[in-house]
Amino acid sequence: MELTVSGIYDIKIDDLAYGGKGIGRIENFAVFVPYSVPGDELKIKITNKKSNFAEAEIISIIKLSTFRTIPECKIFGRCGGCNWLHINYNSQLKYKQKIVIDSFERIGNQKAIKVEEIIPSPNIFHYRNKMDFAFGKDDYEQFTLGFHKIGEFHRVINVENCLLPPPFFNDILKIIRKFTHERNLEPYNPITHTGFLRSLIVRHAKTSDEILISIFTNDGEFPDIDKLIDLLIKQFPNIKGIQLGIHRSVSDFARLDEEKLFYGQKFIIEKINGVQYRISPLSFFQTNTQGTEILYRTIKDFADLESYQNLLDLYSGTGGIALYLAKYVKKVVGIEEVKDAVWDARENATLNKIDNTIFLLGDVKTTLPKFIRNSGYEFDVIVVDPPRNGMHKKVVNTILSLMPRTLIYVSCNPTTLSRDIMAITSGGYKITKIQPIDMFPHTYHIETVVKLVKL
């Protein structure tokens, strides 16, 4: 049977893919179906067809999977955030574990690989310490503050009760939405690049209970901003800082081109295992604080650190991993290409009175070889936590040339992780442990820690 675009077919879903879509087959032809669950029997319509797979949408559910649950969110399936909210949590864990195993076997060429049982998130709701919201208009051209609509980036869906952050995030959202709407402030339009209000970031430090708020706008005056600040502070006295920033770029990714106002301090303090972390509005910090404690502890346990050792932390960000491990080794060197992150890392070292760390600014690909040539450092342990697209081949080759005793690879993308691991194992290392950690309940994202040792 030849599948055709817009054709209607019956299908049974057998698996879940990294990316969140269910997978079924029609006469051995793979079909990816968003918001489907293994065990579902569906009537679908083909929306796109390639040479070896097709994509489809659900027309109706013939038989429900036993893995399904009723999503508690009213906008589920429209905002794209919790793309697994319709799958019960135990099943989410089962399929995340399977995705990691499949990636290592299929992409990394690691046959019959042992993967430790995935560690669940301590909390499956209200776990996020940071949320990014957008100002915009909905399908009816009404003012909104919430999340971009799937497939229609110029549309924004109002968020009344997001289940991922602490509940007070929703209250902050309501105050800002009501205040800005009453003053007829125009939201930014990503198509015409006109309008004033752009985005909102809310951050929360779990251990200190401090809140940081950033509102990003186009050029122009924000009327009665002092009244909004007073309103927020009165309702939430634990707000430590409120920033009003100008974002001029056409890119939707939040950035600070000019700071117009700052109330209070420019950071909040989080603490993990006694280490304090300064978190500024745009700095990177893992969004699941309790999950981060598990992640850092796993990295430490895998590394088998000794006080005489030197440790190299690549893609070190704001120094989260480096500072957590610093007290267990002689020296830590971190390399990171984001200037603000390096500044935060150095400030965090000072804040904690940690004096055995060096944080270098630069692209790992070029900065690492230069540092090795000029310093003569040798490293017993290397920790890498690269972006989603993994490591450049030159970085992998440089790491292999350093011949560390132990290499710890941390990744939120099992596909690029598996690709890089294949190159590392081909270079004289063997995998001794793989530990998935669920840092992102109700999404397809998975954090994985891999320990490799020199043969």
The Cα 299–Cα 311 span in angstroms is 12
Sign, CA dihedral 337-339-344-347, equals positive
Q: How many CB atoms lie within 10 A of CB 365?
A: 15
Per DSSP, 234 falls in state H
Name the catalytic one among 73, 82, 162, 412.
412
> DSSP alpha helices (H): ranges in 142-253?
168-182, 225-235
Give every CB contact of residue 178 below 8 A, 6+ residues apart in sequence: none
SS3 208: coil
Q: What is the dihedral of CA 137, 200, 286, 291, to 10 degrees?
A: -70
The Cα 207–Cα 204 span in angstroms is 9
Amino acid at 181: H
> DSSP alpha helices (H): ranges in 244-378?
289-303, 320-325, 339-351, 364-375
The Cα 64–Cα 37 span in angstroms is 8
Amino acid at 390: G
The Cα 348–Cα 313 span in angstroms is 15
Per DSSP, 193 falls in state T
SS3 337: coil
Q: Mind giving me the DSSP string for 81-97?
A: S-TTTTB-HHHHHHHHH
412 in active site: yes
- Residues serving a catalytic function are 412
